[in-house]
Amino acid sequence: MAAAEAPVDGIKCITLTGHTETVCSALFSPDGSQIVTISQDHTARIWNARTGNCERVLIGHGDWVTSAAFSPDGTRIVTASADRTARIWNTRTGACERILAGHGHFVYSATFSPDGTRIITASDDNTARVWNASTGICEFTLRMTGPGGAIITNGFSIYSALFSPDGTRIVTASADRTARIWNVGTGYCEHVLTGHEDWVTSAAFSPDGLRIVTASIDHTARVWNSLTGGCERILAGHGGPVYSAAFSSDGNRIVTASFDGTARLWNSSTAVCEHRLAGHLGQVYSAACCPDGTRIVTASADSTARIWTDTRAREQTRALALALACAQHPRLGADSPASLLDPYVMREIASFGLADSFVARRQARESKYWCLLQ
């Protein structure tokens, strides 16, 4: 079931209802057509991202489902659970195809490699494991180590693990207040990212693999250089623990989710908060951008997920497209007065405060149409 809500301050929201307990995570499919949510009600659900209708309920886990991710081709989903397993599901049929068993405690996250051949899981047993996605066999284990290389056997849960875009590295987030970058080929830790003052709950690479964003219980997110391990930006402003952080598909934005009941969209270069998404009635556990950058999906302790769309940005883009089309109309030559522009287009431009940027300029011998100057 889904309920559409009227736009508020230019933000349209669709609420996905059906889970009976906390929704811990929500994520778009690679093509943006579907969303997968997971819940403490022991299920995962697949939703139509446009209509908000539930298409499949994935039943089989024996405890909380803690995370879910689509395969790169969108045909499979991997889920992680407090029942100590991960499962691979067919997105079309909803059937469980494989169970990944071997962790000694809760499995907090599971994601596919960029080529879909492997899966990385992160667990409360202080390890991350890399599995063959076809056979379900564990290929190798990443173990947390302390000073002198001693293996840590308790107290430092790994909350998330993700591959880099090229599949050569893995980033993990841990209760020891660090994130770590691992070499997939050797299994060795290359960098330890230190600076957070409390548990690091999630970590993710930027699309180009050059940066990492982490989220922490210390109320901040941080942006790191993935090659040097240095901290480049601190995203501060949430009023509670930040539980997840992820880049947009173009790397220009970061979306965070917080126990303060909001999600925030940040400029990844300046660390300025551009949007604050408020409306959930409980803690927000995760937030993720749609691959095309037009929407954000959030998951909350209020048992719902929400799809947010900035209608202002969409309409502004439409106005600019109309303006360009009108400006390049063959009837409008270099000597045409601005009054010949379509009045509707001019109203659209004015309504978004774009009149100053829309400049009709005569460009004799150089141009035969109006120009939109950025």
CB atoms within 10 A of CB 280: 23
Last residue of one domain, picked from the residues 309, 331, 353: 309
Question: Token pair for residue 346?
Answer: 């001019």
Euclidean distance between CA atoms 45 and 161, whole angstroms: 22
- Type of residue found at 277: L
The predicted structure's pLDDT at residue 312: 55
Last residue of one domain, picked from the residues 309, 336, 361: 309
Is residue 172 domain-shared with residue 221, that is, in the same domain? Answer: yes
CA 318 to chain centroid, in Å, comes to: 25
Last residue of one domain, picked from the residues 264, 288, 309: 309
pLDDT in tens, the chain (374 residues): 444 454 445 567 899 999 999 999 999 999 999 999 999 999 999 999 999 999 999 999 999 999 999 999 999 999 999 999 999 999 999 999 999 999 999 999 999 999 999 999 999 999 999 999 999 999 999 987 655 554 555 557 999 999 999 999 999 999 999 999 999 999 999 999 999 999 999 999 999 999 999 999 999 999 999 999 999 999 999 999 999 999 999 999 999 999 999 999 999 999 999 999 999 999 999 999 999 989 999 999 999 999 999 765 555 555 555 555 555 544 444 344 444 445 545 555 555 554 444 443 333 223 322 222 22
Is residue 337 domain-shared with residue 303, that is, in the same domain? Answer: no
Nearest to 247 by CA among 220, 299, 287, 305: 287
Euclidean distance between CA atoms 196 and 147, whole angstroms: 19
Residue located via tokens 């141009």: 367
* Cβ contact 42:62 at 8 Å: yes
* Cβ contact 14:35 at 8 Å: no
Is residue 347 domain-shared with residue 292, that is, in the same domain? Answer: no
The predicted structure's pLDDT at residue 180: 96
Is residue 96 domain-shared with residue 78, that is, in the same domain? Answer: yes
Is residue 240 domain-shared with residue 338, that is, in the same domain? Answer: no
* Cβ contact 52:32 at 8 Å: no
- Domain of residue 291, residue span: 2-309
Q: Please state the domain count of the chain.
A: 2
The predicted structure's pLDDT at residue 350: 55
Sign of CA dihedral 240, 241, 244, 250: positive
Is residue 215 domain-shared with residue 318, that is, in the same domain? Answer: no
Is residue 294 domain-shared with residue 317, that is, in the same domain? Answer: no
Euclidean distance between CA atoms 121 and 172, whole angstroms: 10
* Cβ contact 118:76 at 8 Å: no
The predicted structure's pLDDT at residue 364: 29
Question: Token pair for residue 330?
Answer: 């063959």
How many angstroms separate the most distant Cα atoms in the chain? Answer: 77
Phi, psi angles (nearest 5°) of residue 196: -65, 150
DSSP SS3 for 291: coil
| Residue 79: partners with Cβ closer than 8 Å, 6 or more residues away | 38, 44, 58, 61, 65, 67, 68, 86, 87, 89, 110
Is residue 289 domain-shared with residue 322, that is, in the same domain? Answer: no
Euclidean distance between CA atoms 372 and 374, whole angstroms: 6
Is residue 188 domain-shared with residue 143, that is, in the same domain? Answer: yes
Is residue 338 domain-shared with residue 355, that is, in the same domain? Answer: yes
C-alpha distances (whole Å) from 145 to each of 19, 218, 374 are 38, 23, 52
- DSSP H or E run through 78: strand 76-81
Is residue 33 domain-shared with residue 169, that is, in the same domain? Answer: yes
Is residue 287 domain-shared with residue 352, that is, in the same domain? Answer: no
Sign of CA dihedral 272, 275, 281, 282: negative
- Type of residue found at 273: C
